Amino acid sequence: MLVEVAVAAAVRGTFTYRVPAPLASEVTLGQRVAVPFGRSPRATGYVVGFPTSPPPGLELKDVAAVLDAVPPFTPRLVELIRWAEDYYLVPPGELLRAALPPGLNSRRGTEGPARRGVEYASAEPGAADAVASLSRAPAQRAVLEYLLARGRIPLEELRRAFPHGRPALAALAKRALVRLERETKVARSGLLDAAADAPPLTAAQAAALVEVEAAFGTFTTFLLHGVTGSGKTEVYLQAIARARAAGKGALVLVPEIALTPQLSGRFRARFGDDVALLHSGLSGAERHAEWQRLRAGEARICVGVRSAIFAPVQDLAVIVVDEEHESSFKQEDGPAYHARDLAVVRGRYEEAVVILGSATPSLETLENARRGRYRRLELPARIDDRPMPTVELVDLRRLRRPGQDLAPGLLSPRLVDALAETVAAGQQAILFLNRRGFQTLVVCEGCGEEARCPDCSIALTHHARRGVLLCHACGRSERMSSTCPACGGVRFGVGVGTEQVEEAARAAVPGARIARLDRDAVTTADETAALLARFARRDLDVLVGTQMVTKGHDFPGVTLVGVVLADTALALPDFRAGERTFQLLTQVAGRAGRGADAGRVLVQTFNPATRAVARSVNHDYAGFAEEELVERRRRGWPPFTRLLAVRVEGSEASAPRAAEALARAARPALQGEIALLGPAPAAIERIRGRTRWHLLFRAPTPQALFRVHRALAPIARRPPGGVEVRFDMDPHAML
């Protein structure tokens, strides 16, 4: 008996092994096996096929051992992963490895680590001052800087970031610069007690459910387009309830669970222990345990983030992708896959119904619906016919008068008044700005020098609360000083971040209870849940934050949403900049007026006439999408073309050289229909001292891009000058 094995290493191709007779009965598709590979006598591999004849002229080796009783992957999952590896141009085995929860990646077999508390690491207060003193302990310094940048994080993350960082961490703990803690119980907040009973559906919801149910057992993809608060989640819940009643399983992908404890809470409340949660806030052991419950059929419903697309749900009948337009479904590091697109592929393999839900569908999904590939379901109104919030623009250009300095991004008089009225009326407000920190740039008055990261080509952000200048690309931090290190002149900060908005809000509405939600203010899922719970309990009047405040929160007390600056994302060199801005504005506006009282949204902007801003005033998704699609077609962007990004990282000299070499190699494959944009330095040209170059290939079909890949693969495998080359099919990040 022969098996085809994908070895869990970043190598191309699969390898054929003999199965010794005693193991033959145990080996099945998707099984983990130990095989001799290279210098290792027992490398971990996955059985991905059963060849009937051996490759010619090769001495075959034997499989050394079978590692699990039950294969971690079902045969259909193996098919899905192999499809994904071909499509996303990932080496075999890499996605298999990435798909598994951490415990299963070790060689210990199915015995996961016992459930125990989650360990956390954080920098002690004042530790930032000690960074400079660690110049002769670079490992400790690196770990400490990482913690200063990330705040309180599960130890697991630190272990992944610094695989050999254990001694440094121990030394830091001993010096009392780092605190290590263990937490055993997941915080239960008031938010999680969602109503368990299913309400009677509205007519629009019922009509959608009828269509979904009629499609059960066939591969059918739906676009569930419903305005914010229209009851999309209730449609998912009831569709899944029907599937569950028939003994089937369901998979629900959400952008981020930590931010939407309400959503997972509703699934738990409805389906109890039948729900397995998979997200990064869990420890490896917890994720492992949830994975096993699904694999064993003990839990039939999986609610998870991106990587849960590979969860071993049994008898999968319904796949839901909530907020399908969210870019967090796109994996950016490691194997670059898109979980929403894979959901549709998985639906095909599993003959399942796929529901893509959104108030602002991505233009890719919309175009698929327009072409009849996806069926459209509409929920055009809010539950109980609650009105959509009114949206007003505040034109910041008119507020700029000489002598009267309103820093761009601070609160206009109208927003201040609205805030005060809201708080006085006992209602709640959300203030949104997509930038954290206090000031986004620090400049010297004397010589004009900006504080920049020495390792990255970006400016440092001033975080006043912690007294540091922080690089948002690499996490490096240094003490903030108002003296310019270059000339000794006085430095001042410009540009507004959430910290400053919080301060402005406190000054504007003295006595109001205000809190901030961003990655500096909260660092764990529990803290996030606790803060959201306080807001939900109305212990807080105003919540200031980054896009963390825009997610699917359902706070009936919120009647005012203030967008402090709508323009932050508009100027980015990205053809999706307008789409992202429209989605963000719609999403955050959707937080207002979800209860008995009507909602109001104030959007401060320098670009009131820009399509994304102007169309958001009337919640006009259709109008926005229509015009945007016309422009995409004219300019040759997706969804009318396909893109392949090739990302090159190396030294200042080697990166451009390798990029040029790749461009030359691609030239023969570039026939009329395929265009090459670049090679060019990335918008953020340097991160962590590594120079980054991009090549962007554009073609009408993925097949044409695969031809490009074949031409580049030999160079990518052995790139010159120690550079790293990564392929990114259907790229999202343009920076």
Question: Binding of ligand ADP at residue 389 (CB under 6 A)?
Answer: no
Residue 453 binds: one of ligand ADP, Zn ion, none (C-beta under 5 to 8 A by kind)? Zn ion
Q: Which of 85, 145, 234, 503 binds ligand ADP (CB under 6 A)?
A: 234
**Closest distance of CB 196 from Zn ion, Å:** 47
Question: Binding of ligand ADP at residue 607 (CB under 6 A)?
Answer: no
Residue 201 binds: one of Zn ion, ligand ADP, none (C-beta under 5 to 8 A by kind)? ligand ADP
Residue 476 binds: one of Zn ion, ligand ADP, none (C-beta under 5 to 8 A by kind)? Zn ion
Secondary structure class of 372 (helix, strand, coil): coil
Of 148 and 366, which has the nearer Cβ to Zn ion? 148
Dihedral-angle region of residue 600 (phi above 0 means left; psi in -120 to 50 means alpha; beta otherwise) = beta
Question: Binding of Zn ion at residue 685 (CB under 5 A)?
Answer: no
Question: Binding of Zn ion at residue 476 (CB under 5 A)?
Answer: yes
- Greatest Cα pair distance in the chain: 87
Question: Binding of ligand ADP at residue 226 (CB under 6 A)?
Answer: yes
Query: DSSP strand E in 239-315: where?
Result: 249-253, 275-278, 301-304
Q: How far apart are CA 273 and CA 76, in angstroms?
A: 25
Residue type, 427: Q
Task: Select from 232-240, 440-448, 560-568, 664-672 the region that touches ligand ADP (CB under 6 A).
Answer: 232-240
Q: How many CB atoms lie within 10 A of CB 403?
A: 4
Of 90 and 474, which has the nearer Cβ to Zn ion? 474
x-or-dash string of contact with ligand ADP, 515-554, rule CB under 6 A: -------------------------------------x-x
Question: Binding of ligand ADP at residue 199 (CB under 6 A)?
Answer: yes
Structure tokens at 335: 């194997």
Q: Which of 45, 231, 599, 719 binds ligand ADP (CB under 6 A)?
A: 231
Rounded to the nearest 10 degrees, what angle do helices 166-174 and 138-150 cross at? 80
Q: How far apart are CA 492 and CA 670, in angstroms?
A: 50
Distances in whole angstroms, Cα of residue 121 to Cα of each of 149, 279, 281, 465: 12, 19, 14, 20
Question: Binding of Zn ion at residue 455 (CB under 5 A)?
Answer: yes
Element of type H or E holding 663: helix 654-666
Question: Binding of Zn ion at residue 453 (CB under 5 A)?
Answer: yes
Torsion angle defined by CA atoms of residues 379, 382, 388 and 389, in that order, rounded to the nearest 10 degrees: -130
Question: Binding of Zn ion at residue 699 (CB under 5 A)?
Answer: no
Question: Binding of ligand ADP at residue 232 (CB under 6 A)?
Answer: yes
Question: Binding of ligand ADP at residue 326 (CB under 6 A)?
Answer: no
Q: Which of 65, 130, 180, 383 binds ligand ADP (CB under 6 A)?
A: 383
Q: How far apart are CA 2 and CA 47, in angstroms?
A: 10
* Structural contact between residues 44 and 5, judged by C-beta atoms closer than 8 angstroms: no
Q: How far apart are CA 652 and CA 681, in angstroms?
A: 10
Of 300 and 476, which has the nearer Cβ to Zn ion? 476
**Closest distance of CB 476 from Zn ion, Å:** 5
Dihedral-angle region of residue 558 (phi above 0 means left; psi in -120 to 50 means alpha; beta otherwise) = beta
Of 165 and 231, which has the nearer Cβ to ligand ADP? 231
Q: What is the DSSP string of 489-534?
A: -BEEEES--HHHHHHHHHHHSTT--EEEESTTT--SHHHHHHHHHH
Of 301 and 470, which has the nearer Cβ to Zn ion? 470
Which of 46, 38, 35, 42 shows the shortest CA–CA distance to 8? 46
Q: Which of 90, 423, 471, 480 binds Zn ion (CB under 5 A)?
A: 471
**Closest distance of CB 473 from Zn ion, Å:** 5
The footprint of Zn ion on this chain (CB under 5 A) covers a number of residues equal to 7
Residue 234 binds: one of ligand ADP, Zn ion, none (C-beta under 5 to 8 A by kind)? ligand ADP
Question: Binding of Zn ion at residue 142 (CB under 5 A)?
Answer: no
| β-pair type (542-545, 428-432) | parallel
**SS3 of the chain: helix, strand, coil, percent, to 5:** 35, 25, 40
Q: Is-cis flag, bond preceding 731, omega within 30?
A: no
Question: Binding of ligand ADP at residue 238 (CB under 6 A)?
Answer: no
Question: Binding of ligand ADP at residue 205 (CB under 6 A)?
Answer: yes
Task: Give the footprint of ligand ADP on this chain (CB under 6 A).
Answer: 199, 201-202, 205, 226, 228-234, 383, 552, 554
Task: Give the footprint of Zn ion on this chain (CB under 5 A).
Answer: 453, 455-456, 471, 473-474, 476
